[in-house]
Structure 1
């Protein structure tokens, strides 16, 4: 068994919408928060900065830690891996520059990734595919505006 460390960013715009990532990999479609896997020799925050740059061509500021996985979760892609996910609030001065779609899985030709905003008021855990992301949605719903106001 190996540990697979994943780092994700919770980006909330001024309309109180959170950014989601719809992806297609190894024959599966799924929705998650933007972010990805920690590489050997990389710091956790550096990983998140790199992932946002690679996936969204977006410079971010990493804010407050929101959540670190506190339960066992087997990888959906490799049954020998245990997933450890880390979630930070992130901020950018240019959220309007993110190319987004309004519909889930609205991929451009040959694309494997698309992004969209989802209202925090209307998001439900079932909007995300993986159990850890679903727990984070519940935390965001429970947290209310005071959580978002104190994230930096």
Structure 2
């Protein structure tokens, strides 16, 4: 049975390394390219923080500590991929172990050459990141909110 009101709840983590770099995921799915914060969809029966820890382990192969809430979508946003309404929740996260990833310096520098889904990660210095580095409106607003709250987060 199809839901009358198809909502898609997403959870994302804003991670800043000890070197003052913010983690960005560059992705391509079925011909659509986008840059965003790591994270993804909430699964049925899962809490937001548990979903975010799972998403970071699946995508980044790293265990994270979920810290402060940054932002929750407060406007209508239609999905980029299907006919659902997106509700996104953003948290500040900290890696609990070293990364075991290869970081790229250019956007969309994928190692894969075949398939429908590609992903690569970049670290961008906090002072160098621009709103335009992110594709989606919610990520852009979350970054702005992060910077407004930064004095409380960055030590």
| TM score, norm. by length of structure 1 | 0.90
Q: Does the aligned pair in 2 maintain the 1:120–1:141 contact within 8 Å? A: no
For 2:112 and 2:62, locate their aligned partners in 1 and report how far apart those are by CA, in whole Å: 22
List structure 1 runs of 4+ shifted beyond 4 angstroms: none
After TM superposition, give the deviation of residue 70 of structure 1 in Å: 0.9
Q: Any gaps of 5 or more consecutive residues in structure 2?
A: none
For 2:88 and 2:138, locate their aligned partners in 1 and report how far apart those are by CA, in whole Å: 7
For 2:130 and 2:153, locate their aligned partners in 1 and report how far apart those are by CA, in whole Å: 17
Match of 1:31 among 32, 35, 54: 35
For 1:8 and 1:42, locate their aligned partners in 2 and report how far apart those are by CA, in whole Å: 14
After TM superposition, give the deviation of residue 66 of structure 1 in Å: 0.8
The aligned runs of 1:3-152 (5 Å cut-off) are 3-78=7-82, 80-110=83-113, 112-149=118-155
Residues 90 and 144 (structure 1), Cα distance of their counterparts in 2 relative to 1, 3 Å cut: closer
| TM score, norm. by length of structure 2 | 0.88
Name the count of aligned residue pairs.
Answer: 148
Structure 2 residue matching 1:30: 3-state secondary structure: strand
User: Residues 30-75 of structure 1: CA distance to partner in whole angstroms, max 9, x if unpaired?
Assistant: 0000000001111111110110111111111111111111111111
After TM superposition, give the deviation of residue 87 of structure 1 in Å: 0.5
Q: Does the aligned pair in 1 maintain the 2:15–2:93 contact within 8 Å? A: yes
After TM superposition, give the deviation of residue 19 of structure 1 in Å: 0.2
Q: RMSD of the alignment, in Å? A: 1.5
Q: Any gaps of 5 or more consecutive residues in structure 1?
A: none
